[in-house]
């Protein structure tokens, strides 16, 4: 995009910055994000949907868990995994989705969920 002046650039970019700031306010509580991540992981393991649907469900759950961990000051192995995977480029393969789901269930079962 080419800006013709500073005011045009500022107007163009301000809403995007505001939207990013607002997304942090929408982070769900950690117990809710953890529960939804477990549900997504179980759906992947059980094959409860199309590959694309399950990939989206798991990706959304990982992003939600990562945001929740950041906002709520959580530092767990599940938070670290969610943060790493939600920030990566590309899609997880079916095998990666299955292994990630199994790992998440184990991590979230033994989760002590203590803030930093």
Domain membership of residue 22 (yes or no) is: no
**Has residue 58 been placed in a domain?**
yes
Does residue 89 form part of some domain?
yes
Q: How far is CA 68 from the centre of its chain?
A: 8
CA distance 17 to 24: 12
Q: Is residue 52 part of a domain?
A: yes
74-112, pLDDT tens digit by residue? 889 999 999 999 888 888 999 999 999 999 999 999 665
Residues spanned by the domain of 76: 27-109
C-alpha 65/C-alpha 84 separation (Å) is: 11
Q: Is residue 63 part of a domain?
A: yes
Instruction: Give the chain's domain count.
Output: 1
Q: Is residue 84 part of a domain?
A: yes
Single pTM value for the model: 0.72
Residue 77 lies in a domain: yes
């Amino acid at each position: 995009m080419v800006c013709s002046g500073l005011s045009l650039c500022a107007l163009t970019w301000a809403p995007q910055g505001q939207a990013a700031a607002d997304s942090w306010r929408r982070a769900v509580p950690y117990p809710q994000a953890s529960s939804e991540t477990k549900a997504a992981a179980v759906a992947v393991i059980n094959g409860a949907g199309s590959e694309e649907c399950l990939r989206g469900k798991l990706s959304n759950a990982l992003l939600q868990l990562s945001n929740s961990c950041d906002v709520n000051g959580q530092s767990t192995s599940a938070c670290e995994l969610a943060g790493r995977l939600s920030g990566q480029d590309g899609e997880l393969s079916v095998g990666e989705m299955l292994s990630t789901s199994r790992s998440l269930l184990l991590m979230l079962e033994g989760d002590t969920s203590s803030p930093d």
